[in-house]
Each structure stands twice: as structure tokens, then as C-alpha cells.
Structure 1
């Protein structure tokens, strides 16, 4: 009986850790994407910034190595928001219920300030994406949060600045929340325009709200697929983790 329980536990872990079900390849308007979907009510989605010494992780490998010390396995990870030269977040950052960086609603240059921007947040088994000023006024106290911009989809509508014929093409990644509450991550295989990336979330992935995380440095880590991007230093990292058995 004990042996059977151990076998079932191992099989259960293997099924939960499978990226085969969580991640898939998608085609949209002639471009390829990797899309991964996770349920915040059943899976451990976290946002990381600094290691136990207080320094930014900077890479998926560093995050994995650090978490392995506590027998925690990374199933999936993606760069999780824009950052400054010292790899600190540009905007709001909340980790383990502690606000480490205040929300940034200032106007400025670059994609982060292409308003409206927004906040991706997690808490009590639920996830959400909200325009930054609305989030600041909401009184929500998340367990994890990261701010980035621009918003891709706002309450079912595309960001007003996106053009269907834009010539600005870059690799891009982002996150959305579907109607069933599941979190949907996407990264383009090649260079795409904002408009097409946003319609992927709205039309194909059925996300009423979606947030751009970054472009050019967009990075993905799926250990089961033997993919671990590492060309660029990273700031915040969103990861889906699981405790190793034993």
C-alpha cells in the first residue's frame, strides 16, 4: 500500500510538472507564438526579483539554482516587467505581500509610459490585470504584483495607440487573464507588431485584459522543453514553481 502511494505521488508530480499540457504553439495572423496557461487556484505562480543575498537574480538559471536549495522546481518562467539599469523594477513590485517599489503613474518616454499601462497581480488563488491608476485606487493588497506597459487589452478593447499597419516589429511577451480566471502567458517566435500581439490575447486567447511585459529582451524558460533563454540580463521574473517530492 505504501509503495502504491509513493508511485501515485510521483506520477501526480510528473503530471503536474508537465509543460506539455500547460504550453503549446499557436499561430495568429501568420506569426508563431508559445502560449502557456496556468490556474492560479491550483498552481503556484510567483514573482521574483532578488536572491537570498539581496541581489537581482538576473537569469532563469540563477533563479532555478537558488530555489533548488529549498527543493523547489521551476516548471515555467518568463521575464516579468520592465526594469532600470540596475535591474530594479520601473514600477510597482510586490513580493510575498511586501511592496518593494511603489506604483509609477508618471508620464514619460518608452513603452512603459505608453498609457494606459497596468499591473499584473496575484493573491488568494486569484490573478488579475488592471490599469495602473484604477489599481492604485482599488485598495487591492496583492501577494505578488508587477507593473509594466502598455496594456495590450483593456476591458476587451485594444490599447488605443496600436496600429494595424505599424512598422514597429519586435519579439514581444505578455500576460493575460482569461474569463475563467486562468493566467495566459505568450511570447512571439519572431518580430510582431503591438496590434497583432494584442489581438492574439483578445481574439484567440479570450483575455479581457492583457499586459505587455517587454520586447526584444523577451525570455522564456520551459525546462521540459529544454528551453532556457539567457541572452539578456533580467529584472523581475514570473515563475510557476512546485515543491519536489521527498
Structure 2
């Protein structure tokens, strides 16, 4: 009887709450942090609509969802070309659109080591790109960007504490269990060293990946935030029901 009661209670329990976003401070700067529990939440990548057109913003992503679904949280998901195609590896719902790039090159993307954010069933990884290419894991969704912010607990070797290269920045790290993806966007301009230390020293992620700079955008309705401006390429977001609960 007790087991039956517990089972009925579980069935009657409401769905898990959606992504938690909060304001935070680290080393004199303000950041917005959003944490996704991958064991309970549905985190996806979005690029195109059913006609093949690039979605480009949060409202169009939400409009592409099935009836009864909406976005719970979203961010830009990596760098893109002028036509908004992804730079580097891109996998959506198991289908690869762009291949992995392992050569160095110009800009932040080519500042090796760069990396891949790989979403699997109930977990995720941030993987250095050459390690990914040598032994590709099974990713339901994946996006490549760069540079890596934290690599196995160490900051990217090219970061300088006194760098004057300041920008709004956003990125993603994964906790040691692989079940929690932690997204951060700076509320004012910071350098790479500062941003990397946020993930390593404050958020405690052993691996973290830079997503982008001045085009960084966040959708966090619980904070009343729906950034607009630049049209985006890939977008990362959670899908929830109409009541804002995880599916």
C-alpha cells in the first residue's frame, strides 16, 4: 500500500521547474547565470525553420515549437558566418550540418584550443575540438566555438590577466557530473582571463567554452530579459510547457 501511495504521489507531482537564472557577482563584475539540469530539462539547439530558413532570434525559435510548448531560456550558441551559418561543427537532433574544424585561424574561434559543447541524453560535455575529432562522442546536439575558457581545470594558456581587450561575453560550462550546464553572460565588458576565472573559480566547471562576444544575447523571462538586436545563427534553449514546467 505504501508503495502504491508513493507512486500515485509521484504521478500527481508537478513537472520540474524550468531553468534557474540569477544575478551574480565575481571579482568586481556583474554576471547573469543560468543553470540547466540536464537530467530533467530539454535543452536543444535551433538553427532553421521547416522551410530551411535560419530562425535568427528567440521569438522565431519559440514560434517554431510544437503546440503547447515554449522557450524556457535561451542564448546565442556560438559563432556564425555573415549568412548566419554556423562556424565549425553543428549537429541538430542527430543530424550534422557543419563539420569539425581543428586548424588554427583568425579571431576568437581560431584561438586554439577551441571546443565543442555536446548535448547527450541527460548530460553534456565541453570537449576540446581535437579530442572530439579523435574520438567523436554520440551527440544529439553539438556546437563548436572558441576559445576554450577552462580546459581540465586550467585556464586557456593565451589568457592575460591584464588584457585590455574587453567585451560583453557569454559562455557555457559543465559541472563534474556532466548533468548540469551552467551558462553565463557578463553584464558589462570583461576580458577573457576574468571570464575564464568566473567558470573555474566561481562556478566550479572543470571545462568551459566561450560562445561569443558583442552579439551575446539572453532570453530569461523569469528575469524579465529578452535581448534583441543582432540576428543570430545557432541558438541554445530549453523547451517547456505552457505553464513553464520542464517537459
Secondary structure in 2 aligned to 1:12?
coil
Q: 1:73 offset after TM fit, Å?
A: 1.4
Distance (whole Å) between structure 2 residues aligned to residue 221 and residue 28 of structure 1: 22
Match of 1:78 among 75, 78, 93: 75
Distance (whole Å) between structure 2 residues aligned to residue 201 and residue 23 of structure 1: 15
Match status 1:89 vs 2:86: yes
Unaligned runs of 5+ residues in structure 1 are none
Distance (whole Å) between structure 2 residues aligned to residue 91 and residue 12 of structure 1: 39
Q: Counterpart of 1:207?
A: 205
Q: 1:57 offset after TM fit, Å?
A: 0.7
CA displacement 1:18-58 (0-9 Å, x = unmatched): x5xx1111111100000011111111011111111111111
Match of 1:242 among 237, 240, 243: 240
Output the aligned Cα RMSD. Answer: 1.6
TM-score normalised to the size of structure 2? 0.90
More helix by share: 1
Q: Counterpart of 2:230?
A: 232
The aligned runs of 1:117-196 (5 Å cut-off) are 117-181=114-178, 182-196=180-194
Instruction: Point out 4+ residue stretches in structure 1 off by more than 4 angstroms.
Output: none
CA displacement 1:110-149 (0-9 Å, x = unmatched): 0000000000001121100000010111131210000000
Distance (whole Å) between structure 1 residues aligned to residue 80 and residue 146 of structure 2: 11
Distance (whole Å) between structure 2 residues aligned to residue 25 and residue 186 of structure 1: 10
Q: Counterpart of 2:57?
A: 59
Aligned residue pairs, count: 233
Q: Counterpart of 2:43?
A: 45
8 A Cα contact 2:21 2:222, kept in partner = no
Distance (whole Å) between structure 2 residues aligned to residue 70 and residue 235 of structure 1: 24
Q: 1:71 offset after TM fit, Å?
A: 2.0
Q: 1:197 offset after TM fit, Å?
A: 0.3
Match status 1:220 vs 2:218: yes
8 A Cα contact 2:22 2:223, kept in partner = no
CA displacement 1:188-223 (0-9 Å, x = unmatched): 001000000000000000000000000000000012
TM-score normalised to the size of structure 1? 0.91
Unaligned runs of 5+ residues in structure 2 are 1-7
Distance (whole Å) between structure 1 residues aligned to residue 95 and residue 52 of structure 2: 14
8 A Cα contact 2:71 2:238, kept in partner = yes
